[in-house]
Amino acid sequence: GQEVDMAGKGGKTRKAATGTCEVCGTKMFKILPNPK
């Protein structure tokens, strides 16, 4: 997987993880929770 920064609301950046599913081969995109 690979971590990317994507723009969120209010001009903040959010961490998101992108990767490829090894089982089905589709691209997966998961937004990681923001650390409080």
Q: Which domain holds residue 15?
A: 2-31
Angle 7-25-17 (CA atoms, 0-180°, nearest 5)?
25
- Name the domain count of the chain: 1
Who wins on pLDDT, 1 or 31? Answer: 31
Distance (Å) of CA 16 to CA 9, 20: 14, 14
The pTM assigned to this predicted structure is 0.46
Write down the residue that tokens 């959010």 correspond to: 14
Does residue 12 sit within a domain? yes
Does residue 36 sit within a domain? no
Does residue 17 sit within a domain? yes
pLDDT tens for 3-29 read 888 887 888 888 888 888 888 888 888
pLDDT of residue 6: 80
Q: How confident is the model at residue 32 (pLDDT cuts 50, 70, 90)?
A: confident
pLDDT of residue 24: 86
